[in-house]
Amino acid sequence: MPTLTYRDALNQALREEMQRDPSVFLMGEEVGVYQGAYKVSRGLLEEFGAQRVVDTPIAELGFAGIGVGAAMAGLRPVIEFMTWNFALLALDQIVNAAAKMLYMSGGQIRMPIVFRGPNGAALQLSSQHSQAWESWLAHIPGLKVVAPATPADAKGLLKSAIRDNNPVIVLEGEMLYNLKGDVPEGEHLVPIGRAEVKREGTDVTLICHSKTVSVALKAAEQLAEQNVSAEVVDLRTLRPIDEAAILASVAKTNRAVVVEEGWPHVGIGAQVVDIIQRDAFDQLDAPVQRVTQADVPMPYNKHLERAAKASPEKVAAAARRVLYLE
């Protein structure tokens, strides 16, 4: 199986889907001539031309809405945001237009559109460029939200997203673009709504997604040295969320830590904890712990930034707490 970066896996998904279906097009800032701000769209302009790889002005609200309109008329737009921080300007189109169209039209108008781009903090980009938006987006009925952690999942989920007849939010990890991994060639579809156990274990479940999967895997290695067997569950999709996978793992380990890049208040972890307390209450041997970004805007200073982010050490410490080891 070929080894690809997360970036090239996304590129492969876009290329294959654009080859497969002429109604798929890519639109966003710097996607064409510049080859993508993060080079996800490298080579696509040359292969598919300017009609299908469309450079836009810096006008997120406007081009997101143009994507929604194009989907209303039968196309399958892939709208790239240079980062999800800038997509806040387009939330009206995502929430009020895309997510509502099928429902308020009484089922008449489908909305096959993908909104994608990097999400979460990178390095020393300070407050406005270091944010994780999944809890905002996963709140909205009418949307699907995926957040792949590996190159293979990035390819498989983006392909599924493009073929889906609903608006799908694809949250790419800004720090994951250079991550390498095995990626199946050709038709590789990861179903939306399915979590995956990325590491088997018996003592504690670490529930995570996107960049925090690698954080949790490192924590699991540290815990293994202390004779703790941690299971790592990668949610992969945040809406609809795979409740069965969460509950199956907790039934096995009786303990859970939820890890995310976002802030703690009303975060994804809060929803996961609700699922566990409701449907696995009797199986729990300890209260569920959460590891999140500190409840502050992201600072620029690298020491402060490190202190704000979820880390393997913080996750391992949380796991020891649910095991009453500290």
Partner 1 sequence: MTATSELHVAMLRRMLLIRRFEEKAAEAYALGKIGGFCHLYIGQEAVAVGSLSALREDDYAISSYREHGQALVRGIPPGAVMAELFGKATGCSKGKGGSMHLFDASRRFMGGHGIVGGHIPLAAGMAFAIKYQGGDQVCICYFGEAAVNIGAFHETLNMASVWKLPVIFLCENNRYGMGTAFERVAAVTDVVEHACSYDMAAEVVDGMNALTVYDATRRAADRARKGGHPTLLEVRTYRYMGHSMSDPLHGVYRTKDEVEEQKKKDPITQLAEKLKEEKVIDQAHLDTMDAEIHSEVDEAVKFADESPDPDAAELYTDVLAD
Q: Please list the active-site residues.
A: 60, 129
Per-residue mark of binding to partner 1, 7-46 (x: CB under 8 A): ------------------x---------------------
Question: Judged by CB under 8 A, which stretch of 58-66, 203-211, 244-252, 262-270 contacts partner 1?
Answer: 58-66
Does 178 participate in binding partner 1 (rule CB under 8 A)? no
Q: Are 191 and 181 in contact (CB under 8 A)?
A: no
At position 224, the amino acid (one-letter code) is: A
Q: Which of 10, 40, 72, 220 binds partner 1 (CB under 8 A)?
A: 72
Q: Are 276 and 288 in contact (CB under 8 A)?
A: yes
Nearest CA-CA partner of 261 in 217, 222, 215: 215
Give the chain's length.
326
CB of 43 to partner 1, least distance (A): 21
CA diameter of the chain: 59
Residue 228's CB: how many other CB atoms inside 10 A? 20
User: Can you state the angle between helices 268-279 and 243-253, rounded to 10 degrees?
Assistant: 60
Copy the structure tokens of residue 249.
């793992």
Does 75 participate in binding partner 1 (rule CB under 8 A)? yes
Per-residue mark of binding to partner 1, 117-156 (x: CB under 8 A): ------------------------xx-x------------
Q: Which helix (H) or strand (E) holds 138?
A: helix 134-138
Nearer CB in complex with partner 1: 38/63: 63
Does 108 participate in binding partner 1 (rule CB under 8 A)? yes
First to last CA, the chain: 42
Nearest CA-CA partner of 316 in 217, 234, 243: 217
Beta bridge partners, 268, equal none
Does 65 participate in binding partner 1 (rule CB under 8 A)? yes
Nearest CA-CA partner of 264 in 296, 304, 301, 238: 296
Q: Which of 9, 70, 238, 276 binds partner 1 (CB under 8 A)?
A: 70
Nearer CB in complex with partner 1: 111/323: 111
Q: Which of 44, 71, 170, 308 binds partner 1 (CB under 8 A)?
A: 71
Q: Which of 15, 30, 42, 66 binds partner 1 (CB under 8 A)?
A: 66
Which residue ranges make up the site for partner 1 (CB under 8 A)? 25, 51, 56-57, 59, 61-75, 77, 92-93, 96-97, 101-112, 141-142, 144, 165-166
